[in-house]
Amino acid sequence: MPPAVLIEKLQKRYGNVEAVKNVSLQIEPAEIFGLLGPNGAGKTTTLRCLCTLAIPDSGRIEVSGDSVLANPRLARQRLGYVAQEVALDKVLTGRELLELQAALYHIPRAAIKHRIEQVIDLLGLEEWADKKTGTYSGGIRKRLDLAAGLLHQPDVLVLDEPTVGLDIESRVAVWDFLRQLRASGTTVLITSHYLEEVDALADRVAIIDKGVVIATGTPSELKDGLGGDRVTLRIREFTPLEEVERAKSLLEPLPHVQEIIVNTAQGNSLNLVVTPQSDALLTIQQALKDAGLPIFGISQSRPSLDDVYLAATGQTLLDAELAAVATRDPKKEKKQNMR
């Protein structure tokens, strides 16, 4: 059986901006695959190329063994795409919007009513189906958007930030629904910068940064690959670089300390990989005390996906997100979205 989705050496440029430099992914049937990274990393551009909404400059994209570029019509039949922004006509009821979606997908007339009732029941929309979408809460709007993406029974459901802006109850409802889809045999591809969402849902994860895939594997494999616990240390609230380098040189030779990364985006904090279930924390504290260095804050934890990103890039996902916001050009983004 061919992969549900195959992407090889994908590249996409918008003017001078290289949105996707070299993305390769293989997603198997009936798995939830998470694409993790900050805004501006290339996640949405990758999805748009997969869903025939953008034409890549180069690369290979297949859905169930068939080329997306050579046969985009077939790809659209096999893919369901739910964008980050929910776009609903406020004067239509949920049922009317689904009827419009069914017509756009050329679903046979005899099957439309049954299909609509199926997705309404699946997503718990019975109470809302005949009310105008302008009265919906954010969570109900997202459920209707998911229903529209599933109406033509796609093999692969593609979700761009499926729970952004939702409250906890609505997020959990979407998570449960996606697990049901996987159990029924549907492949789900989600992008997110919510670490706990990807960790909880995904069978496998790819982390993307600046248009390149930097790590792929199960969440457990990626975290275990770091080889130890994480210690986050801050000498001062904002530590001078000279003092950080002194502390780093002091701590590197200690037993149980395997690696040290200086996180400049967070006040020159030190992020250490240490041997699990060791007395590394006490050893670090004593070494700093003996050297006359203060401790503003220190903590030890098991590795997270954010630690995987930090180890690969030298900054956390939140740091990368904030950096992307700081350098964002709204005018350029508007032009890119119009293409």
Query: How much is the pLDDT for 332?
Result: 54
Query: How much is the pLDDT for 328?
Result: 58
With cut-offs at 50, 70 and 90, classify the pLDDT of residue 115.
Answer: very high
pLDDT one-digit tens code per residue, 7-37: 999 999 999 999 999 999 999 999 999 998 8
CA atoms of 227 and 275, how far apart (whole Å): 7
With cut-offs at 50, 70 and 90, classify the pLDDT of residue 226.
Answer: confident
CA atoms of 202 and 34, how far apart (whole Å): 5
Does position 331 have pLDDT exceeding 60, yes or no? no
Does position 324 have pLDDT exceeding 90, yes or no? no
Residue 333 located in a structural domain: no
- Tell me the CATH number at 276: 3.30.70.100
Q: How many domains does the chain have?
A: 2
Are residues 165 and 218 both part of a single domain? yes
* φ, ψ for residue 260, nearest 5 deg: -135, 130
Are residues 103 and 32 both part of a single domain? yes
Residue 309 located in a structural domain: no
Query: How much is the pLDDT for 322?
Result: 73
194-206 as b/e: b if 16+ CB within 10 A: bbebbbebbebbb
Residue 316 located in a structural domain: no
Residue 29 located in a structural domain: yes
Are residues 78 and 171 both part of a single domain? yes
Angle at 27 between CA 56 and CA 193, to 5 degrees: 75
**Whole-number Cα distances in Å, 30 to 73, 103, 317:** 22, 27, 28
Are residues 62 and 195 both part of a single domain? yes
| Domain final position from 222, 249, 270 | 222
**Whole-number Cα distances in Å, 86 to 56, 159, 253, 285, 295:** 25, 11, 53, 50, 46
CA atoms of 298 and 234, how far apart (whole Å): 6
Residue 317 located in a structural domain: no
Are residues 216 and 80 both part of a single domain? yes
**Whole-number Cα distances in Å, 224 to 26, 230, 302, 334:** 22, 11, 9, 40
| Domain final position from 222, 250, 277 | 222
pLDDT one-digit tens code per residue, 60-88: 999 999 999 999 999 999 999 988 877 78
Residue 336 located in a structural domain: no
Residue 310 located in a structural domain: no
Residue 166 located in a structural domain: yes
Does position 112 have pLDDT exceeding 90, yes or no? yes
Question: What pTM value is reported for the model?
Answer: 0.78
State which residues form the domain around 279: 227-302
